[in-house]
Amino acid sequence: MTIMVTNSPLPPYRSAMSVNHSILRLSSDIAYRLGRLSCLGTVEPDASCHAEEVKFTLACEGITLTPSQMRALNKGEDLPSCPLATSLFHLYSRLGKEDPYSPSILERFEKAVHPDGVPMRKSSKIEGVSYPLPPYNKVRKLLENLFEFEKKNKEVMSPVTLACLLYFEVMALAPYSSQNGLLARYWFKTMLGKAGRSMDALKIEKSLFYQKDKLAKAFEESSAKQDNAPFVECLLTLVLSSVNALLKEASQKQTAPSPLVDRLLAKMAIGRFYSASELCALLGLKSRLGLQKNYLRPALDRGKIAMSNPLCPTDRNQRYCRKGVL
């Protein structure tokens, strides 16, 4: 285990991870692909993406959602038949707004997932956990130490590596009497989001579910060796695979034909800048929101148009120009 528990006062948290060639290679590959992904524009998660996240994080806990429940979640509807799924859906829907470096993420998670009271662990053993756990009366302090470690290393350690360490440590601490994986995966996903806005749309929960046996084996190896490296390496492999899938999806969207983008381009002269009002008039649109969502954003993502002020996309005087050879 990487958290050393002694008599009070507790020492600060230190990561016990040996950085090997495989971890460096995986980290480099992920960073490279995230760079490519950023060039394609931001991939925004929708309700169906969050519904899938909830489906598979619950599946990891042995909870299965029915097809009708999934259809409701895909529409962003609450599930009276499964309040836990509803709470998780709302949590995942605000991923980009959450700060994984602040204790507020823990408070918000506990309030949403455990509205009737937080089931803090009251024993050094819990069902389904075979590895030794730190004393339950030290858990809160150990979590505080983990937050301090995050803050001190946020400038020198990549969010992806920090996310992997967080996942391991939450499972090692097991602060609750059950379903600790829900917190581990949510905090993990929130930290991944700091590596790039598109990471909020990463469908990593599905991989975590289907590779849970491999992850469990890597966790046991890391615990036995008192070295996080085997677990981090396994998790980085899953992250890389999921990033590749997201990159492929973004590339396909960029190259896919879009009648609305084609209609926009047909109305724009090459080299001339247009205001949003002018484009709405040319297209016969009443809503600037519709123009932005259905025409401008897809055209920008495909590299077909340029902004007059790209450093401030929300500039009220923003104008748009069709790219091309005069």
What CATH number is associated with residue 220?
Answer: 1.10.3290.10
Instruction: Assess if residue 13 is contained within a domain.
Output: no
Instruction: Assess if residue 6 is contained within a domain.
Output: no
How confident is residue 15, by pLDDT bands cut at 50, 70 and 90? low
How confident is residue 279, by pLDDT bands cut at 50, 70 and 90? very high
247 plus 265 within the same structural domain: no
Of the three residues 232, 252, 272, the one that is the final residue of a domain is 252
Torsion of CA 97, 49, 51, 239, to 10 degrees: -80
Quote the pLDDT of residue 88: 96
Helix (H, G, I), strand (E, B), or coil: what is residue 249?
helix
154 plus 267 within the same structural domain: no
141 plus 169 within the same structural domain: yes
Instruction: Assess if residue 241 is contained within a domain.
Output: yes
Mean pLDDT over 79-84 rounds to 95
Of the three residues 201, 229, 252, the one that is the final residue of a domain is 252
38 plus 174 within the same structural domain: yes
pLDDT (tens digit, 9 = 90+) per residue, 111-160? Answer: 999 999 988 998 888 877 888 888 888 988 999 999 999 888 888 889 99
Instruction: Assess if residue 4 is contained within a domain.
Output: no
186 plus 294 within the same structural domain: no
Mean pLDDT over 270-287 rounds to 94
Mean pLDDT over 246-258 rounds to 78
295 plus 189 within the same structural domain: no
pTM, 2 dp: 0.76
196 plus 232 within the same structural domain: yes
What is the average pLDDT score of the chain? 88
Greater model confidence, 12 or 231: 231
198 plus 318 within the same structural domain: no
* C-alpha–C-alpha distance, residues 91 and 108, integer Å: 8
How confident is residue 11, by pLDDT bands cut at 50, 70 and 90? low
Instruction: Assess if residue 318 is contained within a domain.
Output: yes
Instruction: Assess if residue 12 is contained within a domain.
Output: no
Mean pLDDT over 73-78 rounds to 92
* C-alpha–C-alpha distance, residues 309 and 319, integer Å: 8
Full domain range(s) for residue 139: 21-252
pLDDT of residue 185 exceeding 60: yes
Tokens of 175: 């602060």
Of the three residues 234, 252, 270, the one that is the final residue of a domain is 252
266 plus 166 within the same structural domain: no
Tokens of 263: 């209609």
pLDDT of residue 79 exceeding 90: yes
Mean pLDDT over 228-246 rounds to 95
Task: Say how many domains are in the chain.
Answer: 2
148 plus 245 within the same structural domain: yes
Mean pLDDT over 97-105 rounds to 92
Instruction: Assess if residue 202 is contained within a domain.
Output: yes
163 plus 146 within the same structural domain: yes
Instruction: Assess if residue 140 is contained within a domain.
Output: yes
* C-alpha–C-alpha distance, residues 226 and 15, integer Å: 10
pLDDT of residue 7 exceeding 70: no
Q: Which residues contact 37 (CB under 8 A, 6 or more apart)?
A: 43, 196, 198, 243, 246, 247, 250
275 plus 241 within the same structural domain: no
How confident is residue 14, by pLDDT bands cut at 50, 70 and 90? low
State how far the alpha carbon of 5 is from the alpha carbons of 110, 119, 248, in Å: 24, 22, 44
Quote the pLDDT of residue 4: 38
